[in-house]
Amino acid sequence: MRFFLQRLLRPSGGGDILPLILTMTDEISAKRDLAEKLLQKGKYDEAIVLLEEIHQESPEEDPILLMLSWAYFDSGKLDRAEKCLNILFDRELERKVFTGFAFDELVRIYKQKKDFLNLVNICEKAAVAQPDDVGLLNELGNAYLQSGHYRQACGIYEKLIEMENDNPFFYCSLGEALFAAGLYQESEQAYWKAGEIDPDQHDRYYFKIATLFQQAQNYRDAERLFNKCVSINPSNPLYYCSLGDCLIGLDQMKNAQTAYDKAVQVDQAHAGAYYNRLGHSFMKAGKFLQAADAFQAAIKHEPVRHYYLNLAAAYREMGLSAAAETIVHEINKIDGN
């Protein structure tokens, strides 16, 4: 349970940041203190009754409305919590200096609920009230992206780049939005620009766009970009693993095995984990014989229980139930000793 009774807010007329001080009668103060104790004990319904009474008597007191919103939230009454936070959010919009607490909480709630309509709505309102706030614009871009408004997201990220053209993060965000909009070449150019700004991390930006291609099952372009990652930074085993996964998607099983072997050469300490991952990738592709070989290689490097169980699963998919049961039986015997 979080309490924000001492949250610093600017008065609506501007000026220095000052503590928001509650001006209450002794009776109201006593009710507030009792409500806080009830909240700490998890007695939300009783606390809500007291806080609603105080709110009716002093509707202008933001801290009470804030406590009330969290009481509703913690009691599972999310709609009532949103109502309280929206009142606070409207008040934030009226201030010359945007404090943004209610906005932040509403963003979190709407993301949690996947309520993208309301998420976009509040982000648009905040951006209109504070058009030069980089953080709010970035949140709006994310809201557009999550809600499927890809072209609008591109527009926001382009604006952010105009404001901070040396920030690789915004080029990556633009690249993600462009990719979602189906503008693949432009997306790749945005990620390339991020790497140009931050050359020490160029391979990581290529990795981001390569992963997008891989997730879209465009394995040919993903392979091309993962190979660029490897050429820039050949000491990163993850690049070889991702390359291997793409090669499986291209039905190049031997080349995939070779890519994973290179990952192991780079980082022998985690060989078991890499071959186990390879086994799962083969399983997803329906290549159960190759998966069994990969799990056996994982066991050779690190004989742990779940690698054996994965091998048993591969045997079952191959119709070798007796072999699978033998493995499970032997593992259970070992665990029992």
CA-CA distance, 179 to 153, in Å (whole number)? 11
What are the pLDDT digits (tens) for 281-328? 999 999 999 999 999 999 999 999 999 999 999 999 999 999 999 998
Query: What is the DSSP secondary-structure string of 100-159?
Result: -HHHHHHHHHHHHHT-HHHHHHHHHHHHHHSTT-HHHHHHHHHHHHHTT-HHHHHHHHHH
Confidence bin at 16 (pLDDT 50/70/90): very low
What are the pLDDT digits (tens) for 271-288? 999 999 999 999 999 999
What are the pLDDT digits (tens) for 150-166? 999 999 999 999 999 99
- Domains identified in the chain and CATH numbers: 1-93+100-113 (1.25.40.10), 115-197 (1.25.40.10)
Rounded percentage of the chain residues whose pLDDT exceeds 70: 91
Confidence bin at 40 (pLDDT 50/70/90): confident
Interval 215-239 mean pLDDT: 97
- What is the pLDDT, as a whole number, of residue 12? 37
Is residue 81 within 8 Å of 73, Cβ to Cβ?
yes
Confidence bin at 333 (pLDDT 50/70/90): low
Bridge partners, 19 (sequence order): 8
Burial class of residue 126, CB neighbours in 10 A (0-12, 13-18, 19+) = buried
Interval 208-224 mean pLDDT: 97
Instruction: For helices 101-113 and 62-74, give the axis angle rounded to 10 degrees.
Output: 20
CA-CA distance, 172 to 157, in Å (whole number)? 9
Interval 230-245 mean pLDDT: 97
Side chain identity, residue 286: G
DSSP designation for 4: -
Confidence bin at 37 (pLDDT 50/70/90): confident
CA-CA distance, 62 to 79, in Å (whole number)? 18
Confidence bin at 219 (pLDDT 50/70/90): very high
- What are the residues whose beta carbons fall under 8 Å from the beta carbon of 306, sequence distance 6 or more? 276
For the entire predicted model, the pTM comes to 0.81
Is residue 130 within 8 Å of 153, Cβ to Cβ?
no
For residue 19, give the 3-state DSSP assignment.
strand
Confidence bin at 51 (pLDDT 50/70/90): confident
State the residue for tokens 């186990």. 276
Instruction: Answer whether residue 2 shows pLDDT above 80.
Output: no
- What is the pLDDT, as a whole number, of residue 337? 44
Query: What is the DSSP secondary-structure string of 306-322?
Result: HHHHHHHHHHHHTT-HH
- What is the pLDDT, as a whole number, of residue 239? 98
